[in-house]
Amino acid sequence: MKLQKRERQARLSSLLEENPLLTDGDLAEHFGVSVQTIRLDRMEKGIPELRERLKDVAVRSLDDVKSLPIDEVIGDIIDIELDKRAVSVFDVTKDHVFQRNGIARGHHLFAQANSLAVAVIDDELALTAKSSLNFIKPVRAGERVVAKAAVRPDKRPRRSIVEVISTVGDEPVFTGTFEMYRTHESGKEGQS
Q: In the chain, pLDDT over 90 holds for what percent of residues?
A: 48
Please, how many CA atoms are within 13 Å of residue 39, restricted to the half-sphere of its CB?
A: 4
Q: What is the pLDDT of residue 33?
A: 92
Q: What is the pLDDT of residue 189?
A: 42
- What value does the mean pLDDT take over residues 58-80? 70
Q: What is the pLDDT of residue 79?
A: 82
Pick the CATH number of 5-47 from 1.10.10, 1.20.1070, 1.10.3470, 3.10.590: 1.10.10
DSSP state of 49: P
> What is the 3-class SS of 121-176, one letter each residue?
CCCCCEEEEEEEEEECCCCECCCEEEEEEEEEECCCCCEEEEEEEEEECCEEEEEE
Q: How confident is the model at residue 69 (pLDDT cuts 50, 70, 90)?
A: low
* C-alpha distance from residue 43 to each of 40, 48, 81 (Å): 5, 7, 31
Name 152's bridge partners: 161
91 has a pLDDT exceeding 80: yes
DSSP state of 80: E
Q: How confident is the model at residue 58 (pLDDT cuts 50, 70, 90)?
A: low
Q: How far apart are CA 69 and CA 62, in angstroms?
A: 9
Q: In terms of CATH architecture, what is 66-182?
A: Roll (3.10)
Residue 84: strand, helix, or coil: coil
15 has a pLDDT exceeding 80: yes
Neighbours of 175 (CB within 10 A): 17
- The ranges assigned to domains in the chain are 5-47, 66-182
Q: Is the pTM of this model over 0.75?
A: no
191 has a pLDDT exceeding 50: no
154 has a pLDDT exceeding 70: yes
62 has a pLDDT exceeding 70: no
- What value does the mean pLDDT take over residues 156-173? 95
